[in-house]
């Protein structure tokens, strides 16, 4: 799964990397957690891209209340086309979720060790995501989930799942609303992993209220 990540790039770097037409209001975060509003990228009808903030924890449009979101921070790539919670969003409402890295914990003999997984060149990347609109009477909520897949060889010693990571040349294929969903699914089934690295970090990151450079500071392991 993916339950914590970082986005430490500047607003200018995000605009350039995702080819946005407008500046983005953004404050870097070293420890992003579920139930926060997170920065996402969607594609408009003219194929331009827009940055929007969505609630992390997808609420299906048919859900009777918002509480359904507590378990929907992730969507498994293998079943995304069949699961009622995700299949409509997969067809029509795909998004990118900008990231600098993500966190995962490995259980060992002395406890859990946190790792920050990031590109080896420290560059931005994106998770494949889905978004949904939920409405009840006068309340409207826009929410999202991060898609996960089986762990890469690099990740397997740490965890058996990881977020789907997309490269810049894959962004349009994922966002394109005019394409057949199977075309987007190819990116999930045949993921081209960026060159990633894993860095052990301290247990400071364990607390989601901690949001500073100590969350990603390397430590001996």
Q: At residue 170, what are phi and psi to the nearest 5 degrees? A: -100, -10
Taking the C-alpha atoms of residue 47 and residue 53, their distance in angstroms, rounded to an integer, is 19
CATH topology of domain 5-215: hypothetical protein yedk fold (3.90.1680)
pLDDT at residue 135 tops 70: yes
Please say if 144 is a catalytic residue: no
Q: How big is the CA angle at 92 (ends 91 and 95), to the nearest 5 degrees?
A: 105
Is residue 108 over pLDDT 90? no
Instruction: Let me know if 44 is exposed, middle or buried by CB neighbors in 10 A (0-12, 13-18, 19+).
Output: exposed
Query: Tens of pLDDT along 65-97?
Result: 777 666 799 999 999 999 999 999 999 999 999
Based on the residue annotation, tell me whether 95 is a catalytic residue of this protein: no
The answer to whether 4 touches 33, Cβ cutoff 8 Å, is: yes
- Helix H, strand E, coil C: the string for 155-199 is CCCCCCEEECEECHHHHHHHHCCCCCHHHHHHHHHCCCCCCEEEE
- pLDDT value at position 192? 62
Predicted confidence at residue 150, as pLDDT, reads: 94
pLDDT tens-digit map of 171-214: 999 999 888 899 999 988 766 666 899 999 999 999 999 999 99
> What's the pLDDT score for residue 70?
64
Q: Say how far apart CA 110 and CA 103 lie, in whole Å.
A: 19
Report the alpha-carbon distance of residue 121 to residue 71 in Å, rounded. 33
Q: Quick check: helix, strand or coil at residue 69?
A: helix
Catalytic annotation, pick one of 43, 104, 144, 215: 104
Q: Which distant-in-sequence residues (6+ apart) come within 8 Å of 116 by Cβ? A: 6, 101, 102, 103, 198, 199, 200, 201, 205, 215, 216
Report residue 9 CA to chain centroid gap: 15
Q: What's the pLDDT score for residue 190? A: 66
Alpha carbons 206 and 33: distance in angstroms, whole number: 10
Lowest mean pLDDT among 10-14, 105-109, 129-133: 105-109
pLDDT tens profile 142-154: 999 999 999 999 9
pLDDT above 70 for 61: yes
Sorting pLDDT into bands at 50, 70 and 90, what band is 111? confident
Taking only the tens place, the pLDDT of each residue in 35-48 is: 999 999 999 989 89
Amino acid 71: pLDDT: 72
What pLDDT does residue 100 have?
97
β-pair type (94-99, 74-76)? unpaired
């Amino acid at each position: 799964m993916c339950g914590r990540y970082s986005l430490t790039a500047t607003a200018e770097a995000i605009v350039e990397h995702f080819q946005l037409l407008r500046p983005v209001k953004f404050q870097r975060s070293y420890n992003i957690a579920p139930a926060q509003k997170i920065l996402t990228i969607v594609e408009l009808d003219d194929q331009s891209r827009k940055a929007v903030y969505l609630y992390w924890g997808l609420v299906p449009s048919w859900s009777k209340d918002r509480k359904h979101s507590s378990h929907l921070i992730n969507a498994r790539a293998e079943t995304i086309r069949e699961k009622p919670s995700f299949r409509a969003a997969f067809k029509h409402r795909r998004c990118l979720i900008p990231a600098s890295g993500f966190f995962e914990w490995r259980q060992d003999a002395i406890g859990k060790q946190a790792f920050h997984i990031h590109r080896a060149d420290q560059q931005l990347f994106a998770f494949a995501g889905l978004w949904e609109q939920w409405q009840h009477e006068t309340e409207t909520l826009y929410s999202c989930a991060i898609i996960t897949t089986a762990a890469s060889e690099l990740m397997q010693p740490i965890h058996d799942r990881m977020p789907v990571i997309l490269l810049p040349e894959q962004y349009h294929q994922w966002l394109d609303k005019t394409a057949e969903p199977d075309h987007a699914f190819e990116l999930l089934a045949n993921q081209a992993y960026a060159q990633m690295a894993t860095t052990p970090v301290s247990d400071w990151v364990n607390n989601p209220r901690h949001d500073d450079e100590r969350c990603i500071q390397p430590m001996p392991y």
